[in-house]
């Protein structure tokens, strides 16, 4: 990560705290300059109001700070929210009770540390570009597929954020105007998130389980098990045809989205992360096939579709990367 004239070098034991705030959980880590994680702190954030959410963010950072091996130089937050980078305001989140709060200033005041904040998918893209599957590229698309779909863009080697910081909401590109209602605070129908997220995979799987009661999915549903993304992936790896079909359906919708990203951005790579990537080629294979059938040459032949390197810790490591770059750029 670049330094600069007048920067203060970190000593070997110094760390930053990277925080990934997701739709259901929070993960914080004490991370050194080589991206080694020295301590992890987890919190659930389901069904809580904004005040409690902010309290849990502070508590997670404080716990991580106490366990850190050296001085904590700053904190980088990745949050699933539109961020106004001019003011540090968390404008609105789709899947969390977070809106209109000066998140950066509030956290800096309560923690007494320098704070940087960005959209969680932007930070996953930053981690993958600086250290992971998109390293060495100039143009890249990064998708994090879990409860929803986060999107990050690397253009000319830097994270693209739009005019005020609210850009690259790739999960909310409409791919079927008559599709299902999108989730949370999104007012649209048929977004990529509504068609190809972990939530969408569970919905498709429940439909197939009902239609095919003798399948593994059908038996799981009738026995009272929750038909979730991880269950679908497990059954698909065991060869259950209904589970495999669910992944093919969602993979094809993902490929529709990827074809548009290929045509619009002509990236060298599309990196796919998040919990759903546990399905591996069972998801990525249909996605590539659909992308190749729909995208224009030469972009369709130039864009590689690959799994993320950092998995579920990409947002936390991206937060740490953001913080280290901020620390090293501060005189």
Banded model confidence at residue 12, pLDDT cuts 50, 70, 90 = low
Average pLDDT on 12-24 reads 89
Q: 291-308, pLDDT tens digit by residue? A: 999 999 999 999 999 999
Q: State the pTM of this model.
A: 0.88
Give the start-to-end residue ranges of the domains of the chain: 15-120+313-329, 133-308
State the pLDDT confidence band at 275, using cuts at 50, 70 and 90: confident
pLDDT at residue 5 tops 50: no
Residue 6 banded pLDDT, cuts 50, 70, 90: very low
Fold of domain 15-120+313-329: Nucleotidyltransferase; domain 5 (3.30.420)
Angle formed by the axes of helices 198-211 and 241-265, to 10°?
140
Res 4: pLDDT: 35
Average pLDDT value for residue range 104-122? 95
* pLDDT digits 0-9 by tens, 182-203: 988 889 999 999 999 999 999 9
Grade residue 7 by pLDDT with cuts at 50, 70 and 90. Answer: very low
Q: In 3-state terms, what secondary structure has residue 53?
A: helix
Residue 77's DSSP bridge partners are 19, 117
Q: What are phi and psi of 183, to 5 degrees?
A: -100, 170
Q: pLDDT of 164-186, one tens digit each?
A: 888 899 999 999 999 999 988 88
pLDDT at position 35 is: 94
Three-class SS state of 203:
helix
Give residue 36's pLDDT band: very low, low, confident or very high (50, 70, 90).
very high
What burial class does residue 237 get, using C-beta atoms within 10 Å of its C-beta: 0-12 exposed, 13-18 middle, 19+ buried?
Answer: middle
Residue 70 — pLDDT band, cuts 50, 70, 90? very high
pLDDT of amino acid 8: 44
Q: What does the alpha-carbon distance between residue 280 and residue 305 come to, in Å, rounded to a whole number? A: 11
Query: What average pLDDT does range 8-23 have in this prediction?
Result: 80
In this prediction, residues 54-73 reach a mean pLDDT of 96
Q: Which of 68, 64, 65, 100 is nearest to 81 (CA)?
A: 100
pLDDT for residue 62 is more than 80: yes
- pLDDT, residue 80, reads 85
Domain 15-120+313-329 and domain 133-308 have a common topology? yes
CATH homologous superfamily for 133-308?
ATPase, nucleotide binding domain (3.30.420.40)
Of the pLDDT bands very low, low, confident and very high (cuts 50, 70, 90), residue 24 is confident
Residue 9 reports pLDDT greater than 70 = no
- Quote the mean pLDDT of the chain: 92
């Amino acid at each position: 990560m670049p330094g600069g004239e007048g920067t203060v070098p970190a000593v070997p034991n110094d760390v930053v705290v990277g925080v990934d705030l997701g739709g259901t959980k929070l993960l914080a880590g004490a991370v050194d300059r080589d991206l080694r994680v020295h301590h992890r702190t987890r919190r659930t954030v389901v069904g809580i109001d904004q005040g409690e959410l902010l309290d849990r963010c502070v508590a997670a950072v404080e716990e991580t700070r106490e366990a850190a091996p050296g001085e904590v130089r700053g904190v980088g937050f990745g949050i699933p929210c539109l961020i106004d980078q001019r003011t540090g305001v968390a404008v609105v989140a789709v899947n969390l009770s977070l809106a209109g709060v000066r998140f950066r200033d509030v956290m800096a005041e309560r923690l007494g540390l320098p704070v940087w904040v960005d959209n969680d998918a932007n930070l996953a893209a930053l981690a993958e570009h600086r250290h992971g599957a998109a390293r060495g590229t100039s143009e890249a698309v990064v998708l994090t597929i879990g409860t929803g779909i986060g999107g990050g863009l690397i253009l000319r080697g830097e994270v693209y954020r739009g005019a005020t910081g609210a850009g690259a909401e790739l999960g909310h590109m409409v791919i079927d105007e008559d599709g299902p209602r999108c989730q949370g605070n999104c007012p649209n129908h048929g977004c990529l998130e509504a068609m190809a997220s972990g939530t969408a995979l569970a919905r498709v799987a429940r439909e197939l389980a009902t239609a095919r009661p003798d399948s593994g999915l059908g038996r799981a549903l009738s026995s009272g098990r929750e038909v979730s993304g991880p269950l679908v992936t497990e059954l698909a790896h065991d060869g259950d045809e209904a589970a495999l079909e669910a992944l093919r359906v969602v993979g094809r919708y993902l490929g529709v989205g990827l074809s548009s990203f290929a045509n619009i951005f002509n990236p060298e790579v599309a990196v796919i992360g998040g919990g759903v990537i546990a399905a591996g080629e069972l998801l990525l294979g249909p996605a590539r096939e659909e992308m190749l059938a729909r995208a224009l040459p030469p972009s369709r032949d130039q864009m590689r579709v690959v799994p993320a390197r950092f998995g579920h810790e990409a947002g936390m490591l991206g937060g740490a990367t953001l913080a280290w770059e901020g620390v090293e750029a501060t005189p």
